[in-house]
């Protein structure tokens, strides 16, 4: 059994508690217009081309996505996406087990949408739990509930996105409605598992008091997560669109004062 992974980042402090290794699965069923990892959206391997680094040496003229060992001396081209076995992922994850134990960290499976490769994810979660590693799953939640049922016994923490409460806004900016997402979150909040809700704050999209009040109202009815994180939009991923030959949609970075104002609507609890 194999899955397509586009990155494994060690020493992460932003994808759950403690020091973590984050495994990024390729492929997503949302198309968020502010996505800072556009290379994660396609399930297929891709070639990233950094045109400003290219010296036209010609070494890559016959390059294909299956040439995983190709190295460009100028870092102008790279293959995005490699096939991993469960054991190969575990081998990478377990390297920093000592750091997980001393910091309260572990492994986080992200994407893209890692739950779209659910059977591989399930087996990898089982292996991690057998080795005493804390597990987190980062998901947008647009997945059949049956997939959550499969991995619940082996997942310590869910990092769960709320991108917009307004259904029309959600569909306009992500390509899908939020109906299934909110139903799944309701079930998760009533299950015996830790949940951190993460809200990407995008200027002109969901950065309104009304959106935050609606999220709070949802929590008042369905229960509060263990933690709510606000993730302000940043432009650090905009250059990646060019490497894929795509146009980028730009959003303004929200100011800190506004973020704090929005946060205070939800987080006083």
Pair 65, 154 in one domain: no
Q: Mean pLDDT of successive 10-residue segments in the chain (269 residues)?
A: 95 95 98 94 93 90 86 90 96 96 97 97 98 98 98 98 96 98 97 96 95 96 96 88 90 90 83
Pair 59, 120 in one domain: no
| pLDDT given at position 182 | 98
| pLDDT given at position 134 | 98
Pair 153, 216 in one domain: yes
The residue behind tokens 């572990």 is 106
Can you tell me the distance from the alpha carbon of 158 to that of 150, in angstroms, rounded to the nearest whole number? 14
Pair 40, 50 in one domain: no
Please confirm whether the linkage preceding 112 is cis (ω < 30° from 0).
yes
The per-residue DSSP string of 197-236 comes to EEEEE-TTTT-SHHHHHHHHHHHHHH---SEEEEEE--ST
55, 80, 105 - which closes a domain:
80
Pair 112, 88 in one domain: yes
Pair 52, 94 in one domain: no
pTM exceeds 0.85, yes or no = yes
60, 80, 100 - which closes a domain:
80
CATH number at residue 241: 3.20.20.70
| Domain span at 157 | 2-44+83-266
57, 80, 103 - which closes a domain:
80
Can you tell me the distance from the alpha carbon of 164 to that of 162, in angstroms, rounded to the nearest whole number? 6
Structurally, how many domains does the chain consist of?
2
Pair 207, 121 in one domain: yes
| pLDDT given at position 268 | 63
Pair 56, 168 in one domain: no
């Amino acid at each position: 059994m194999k899955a397509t992974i586009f990155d494994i980042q060690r020493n992460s402090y932003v994808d759950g508690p403690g020091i973590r290794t984050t495994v990024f699965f390729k492929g997503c069923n949302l198309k968020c217009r502010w996505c800072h990892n556009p290379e994660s959206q396609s399930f297929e391997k891709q070639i990233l081309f950094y045109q400003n680094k290219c010296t036209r040496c010609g070494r890559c003229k016959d390059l294909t996505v299956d040439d995983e060992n190709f190295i460009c001396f100028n870092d102008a081209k790279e293959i995005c996406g490699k096939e991993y076995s469960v054991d190969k992922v575990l081998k990478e994850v377990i390297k920093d087990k000592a750091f997980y134990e001393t910091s309260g960290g572990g492994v986080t499976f992200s994407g893209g949408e890692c739950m779209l490769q659910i059977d591989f994810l399930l087996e990898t979660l089982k292996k991690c739990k057998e080795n005493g590693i804390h597990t987190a799953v980062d998901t947008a939640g647009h997945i059949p509930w049956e997939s959550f049922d499969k991995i619940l016994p082996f997942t310590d923490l869910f990092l769960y996105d709320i991108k917009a409460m307004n259904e029309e806004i959600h569909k306009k900016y992500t390509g899908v409605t939020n109906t299934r997402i909110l139903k799944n979150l309701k079930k998760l909040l009533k299950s015996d598992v830790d949940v951190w809700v993460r809200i990407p704050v995008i200027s002109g999209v969901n950065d309104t008091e009304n959106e935050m009040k609606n999220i709070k109202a949802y929590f008042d009815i369905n229960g509060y997560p263990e933690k709510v994180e606000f993730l302000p939009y940043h432009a650090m991923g905009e250059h990646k669109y060019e490497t894929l030959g795509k146009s980028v949609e730009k959003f303004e970075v929200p100011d800190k004062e506004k973020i704090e104002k929005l946060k205070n609507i939800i987080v006083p609890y």
